[in-house]
Amino acid sequence: MRTRLTLPALALLSALALAGCTADAQAEDPATTPATTATEAESVTVTDAWVKSAETGMSAAFGLIENTGDADVTVVSVGSPASTAMELHETVENETGEMLMREKDGGFTIAAGQSLPLEPGANHLMLMDLVEPVVAGDEVTFTLTFADDSTLDFTAPAKDYSGANETYAEGEGHEGMDMGGEMDMGDQ
């Protein structure tokens, strides 16, 4: 009787052991392993970047953000060691036709295969409170953060520019901050 129970038990244990080995081999097989998903940052490039030189207060960064991927991406925030606070800004026309800047709610969404120009008088990256002067010729580092929490670092040279002195939209909460003068939507 003992032999009859031992033989089926041994056969069952052998089958389970072999099944376990097969499962391990399949898990390591690249053909059966799911591909990892690319991050939003991996499909984005920043070109022609530059930042306005400034002694104190605020400044802004400009350039071209390009989405080379096949899915939309959303830039949700930006940071830089050059400023204690940064915002993504858009410029909008108010009811009297005056152009005003404000924080871009929800961030910048860039469609697949499209670009987002960052320009004076339009969308830009706003340095809200400079840590020290940004002098023409300096290289300023920025980090874009995307909706999937991936990040992209880039640097931008500082240059002298007399424009990019937009006014804030009413109620944006920046009334006490140094804007650097009146609005000037002039060309670079």
Residue 147, domain member (yes or no)? yes
Query: pTM value?
Result: 0.71
Query: Residue 35: its pLDDT value, please?
Result: 53
Residue 130 vs residues 54, 79, 81, 139, 140: alpha-carbon distances, Å: 8, 12, 9, 14, 11
Hey, what are 116's tokens?
């987002």
Regarding whether 100 and 143 lie in a shared domain, the answer is yes
- Dump pLDDT digits (tens) for 132-182: 999 999 999 999 999 999 999 999 999 999 875 556 565 555 444 444 433
Query: Residue 56: its pLDDT value, please?
Result: 95
Regarding whether 113 and 25 lie in a shared domain, the answer is no
Hey, what are 91's tokens?
């410029």
- Dump pLDDT digits (tens) for 70-92: 999 999 999 999 999 999 999 99
Domain count, the chain: 2
- Report which of residues 130 and 97 the model is more confident about: 130
Query: Residue 188: its pLDDT value, please?
Result: 41
Query: Residue 171: its pLDDT value, please?
Result: 54
Task: With beta carbons less than 8 A apart as the criterion, state whether 127 and 80 touch.
Answer: yes
Regarding whether 110 and 54 lie in a shared domain, the answer is yes
Element (H, E) at 19: helix 2-28
Regarding whether 63 and 93 lie in a shared domain, the answer is yes
Residue 2, domain member (yes or no)? yes
Separation between Cα atoms, residue 23 and residue 25, nearest integer Å: 5
Query: Residue 36: its pLDDT value, please?
Result: 55
- Dump pLDDT digits (tens) for 20-55: 554 444 445 555 545 556 899 999 999 999 999 999
Residue 178, domain member (yes or no)? no
Regarding whether 84 and 30 lie in a shared domain, the answer is no
Query: Residue 164: its pLDDT value, please?
Result: 57
Query: Residue 107: its pLDDT value, please?
Result: 98
Regarding whether 45 and 28 lie in a shared domain, the answer is no
The closest of 18, 81, 79, 74 to 43, measured between CA atoms, is 74
Query: Residue 38: its pLDDT value, please?
Result: 82
For 43, residues 6+ apart whose C-beta sits below 8 A from its C-beta are: 67, 68, 69, 70, 71, 73
Query: Residue 26: its pLDDT value, please?
Result: 46
Strands 44-52 and 59-67: antiparallel
Dihedral angle, C-alpha 68, 86, 123, 146, nearest 10 °: 30
CATH of residue 116's domain is 2.60.40.1890
Q: What angle do CA 165, 59, 51 make, to 5 degrees?
A: 110
Q: What is the extent of the structural domain holding 83?
A: 40-164
Regarding whether 72 and 148 lie in a shared domain, the answer is yes
Query: Residue 99: its pLDDT value, please?
Result: 86
Regarding whether 72 and 28 lie in a shared domain, the answer is no
Regarding whether 83 and 52 lie in a shared domain, the answer is yes
Q: Is the pLDDT of residue 126 over 50?
A: yes
Q: What angle do CA 92, 135, 152 make, to 5 degrees?
A: 60
Residue 57, domain member (yes or no)? yes
Query: Residue 179: its pLDDT value, please?
Result: 43
Regarding whether 137 and 47 lie in a shared domain, the answer is yes
> DSSP states of 73-139 as a string?
EEEEEEE-TTBS-EEEEEEEE-TTS-EEEEE-TT-EEE-TT-EEEE-TTSSEEEE-SBSS-B-TT-E
Residue 106, domain member (yes or no)? yes
Residue 23, domain member (yes or no)? yes
Regarding whether 145 and 84 lie in a shared domain, the answer is yes
Residue 24, domain member (yes or no)? yes
